[in-house]
Structure 1
Amino acid sequence: MRLARDTWIIMQQSLLISRRQRLWGIIGLAQPLYFVILFGPLWERSLRMSEDESYAMFLPGIFIEVAVFGTLFAGIGLVSEVRSGLIERMRVTPVSRTALLLGRCGRDIVMLLAQAVILVIVAIPFGLPLRVVPLALTMLLMAMVAFVATSLSYAAALVVESETTLASLANVANVPLMLLSGILIPIAFAPDWLQWLAKFNPVYYAVEAARALFAGRLVDSGVLRALLIVGAVGTVGAGWAVRRFSREVS
């Protein structure tokens, strides 16, 4: 109960801080909107799909793109908090050290889900078929992926303690993870050697699972495989992040 209470308090505080930085949220939403509005229509022509098929396959990939690449830079804000002494001051409070991480992750997930809702609203006029249950399950998977990515970002921030270094690391990871995930172009259209490389990319499995869920294939084997991979990576990442937070604040 204490962990849940502390997590809720930290999440509320973090959301209040984010409300004062609305421009940052708008900037974070800009790139996914560009993809939906400017890149999405290209799928219909280049892959010879109908509007329904195009956005039903394209948007779930964008959800995962938002979940991963919208949180890789989350740790940058934490670096400034460490430098300003905010994390240091947490040592004298009784708040759970794990809640310091979970509350921040919860804030990031709430903001990403809000962005996903906006993306859905924008995509509907382009022909997106709206199915509530598959959409809700896809967003649930998105939240799981976001928790993994944001945990790793916060842990890395406490290791490097530099905004520039963390941003460089995130950019280095960004491009191969995106290109080998099938977000922009399905990996099925790639050469055999790229398809082989994609199997080492956890984001690829998340994208395939999101498309299966959005299509209503709830018992697809790819969904279970993605849950196992995301769960394994998330357990390792969250464990590492919690240890770093505990060491930093203890």
Structure 2
Amino acid sequence: MSSLAATLSDSAVITKRNLIKVKRVPDLIVFATLSPIMFVLLFRYVFGGSIQVPGDISYAEFLLPGIFAQTVVFGSTVTGASIAEDLQKGLIDRFRSLPMSRSAVLIGRTIADAGLNIISIAVMALTGLAVGWRIHTSVGEAVGGFLILLLFAFAISWLMALVGLLVRTPEVVNNASFIVIFPLTFVANTFVPLETFPSVLRTFAEWNPVSSVVQSARELFGNTVPGAPTSDAWSLQHPVLYTLLWVVIILAVFVPLSVRAYRGTASR
């Protein structure tokens, strides 16, 4: 069997193992879906009445793409915490004793977590439909919107994989991730229009990749208003391209770094 075929086969086995673990620990699914539902309901009904959205669009349609982006980015932190937990429990040592590809553990972990994000998005979409969110574009464009969200989350999963390999305790991974990801998802166009930001924060938010992910989803779902004021920043004028550039850069940097860190960890 070729090296690539062996890696793909081993990755499929690890992916299946991680998905079976989710089935046996349903708390993972419950908490992964309750949090976005809570955010949707809180922002839609508690804060929505005081947030003005430019143009003829409901706050629910403005909000949901932002909630999608926030949830999949936070969901990617599961990768780092899970890898740190496997290291802590000695599972990585058991994988090392098997004749398997070194990168398969990371590939299988990130793919399985992408599956969790798909479930979270499906639950959020149903919740969004219940509170007034609608898609106004074609099926192909809508699928493209969901794919952009999942691709970006998949890239962030590899970044978090490196964090999990370096930190090694799930609690520290969660705390470190929260410190970085929380401001990234809030200093963006996630919940409020960028026009409300102070100038310095607005500039940061315009080039924040989370903002481009949200803007990409809004455009592909048809949750924008033609003629409404928009940012002049290139990143938000071409959000899909800017997001894809970030995905390529993150994967190009963190996939080899994560695999190298894993090999170094496994050799100890």
TM-score by length of 1: 0.89
Distance 1:12 1:197, change over 3 A: same
Matched, 1:110 2:115: yes
Distance 1:36 1:249, change over 3 A: same
Query: Structure 1 residues 65-74 or 207-216, which shifts more?
Result: 207-216
Gaps of 5+ in 1: none
In 2, the alpha carbon distance for the partners of 1:51 and 1:30 equals 30
Distance 1:187 1:238, change over 3 A: farther
Amino acid at match of 2:108: G
2:65 is aligned to 60
In 2, the alpha carbon distance for the partners of 1:163 and 1:237 equals 19
> What's the C-alpha RMSD, in Å, of the aligned pairs?
2.3
In 2, the alpha carbon distance for the partners of 1:187 and 1:149 equals 24
1:147 is aligned to 154
1:37-186 to 2 correspondence within 5 Å?
37-41=41-45, 42-43=47-48, 46-48=51-53, 53-130=58-135, 131=137, 132-186=139-193
In 1, the alpha carbon distance for the partners of 2:130 and 2:170 equals 39
Distance 1:44 1:141, change over 3 A: farther
In 2, the alpha carbon distance for the partners of 1:49 and 1:196 equals 19
CA contact (8 A) 1:44 1:51 kept: no
Distance 1:156 1:48, change over 3 A: closer
Deviation at 1:49?
6.8
Matched, 1:13 2:17: yes
Distance 1:76 1:51, change over 3 A: farther
1:201 is aligned to 208
Matched, 1:228 2:245: yes
Find runs of 4+ consecutive structure 1 residues off by over 3 angstroms.
41-45, 48-53
TM-score by length of 2: 0.84
Distance 1:188 1:8, change over 3 A: farther
In 1, the alpha carbon distance for the partners of 2:41 and 2:56 equals 13
Distance 1:75 1:51, change over 3 A: farther
Amino acid at match of 2:131: F
Q: 1:240 aligns with which of 249, 257, 260?
A: 257
Deviation at 1:19?
1.0
CA contact (8 A) 1:52 1:127 kept: no
In 2, the alpha carbon distance for the partners of 1:4 and 1:57 equals 39
Deviation at 1:53?
3.9
CA contact (8 A) 1:44 1:50 kept: no
Deviation at 1:171?
1.8
The structure with more radius of gyration:
2
Q: 2:39 aligns with which of 27, 35, 41?
A: 35
Q: Secondary structure at the match of 1:185?
A: coil
Deviation at 1:74?
3.0
In 2, the alpha carbon distance for the partners of 1:226 and 1:5 equals 30
Alignment coverage as a number of residue pairs: 248
Deviation at 1:65?
0.7
Gaps of 5+ in 2: 225-236
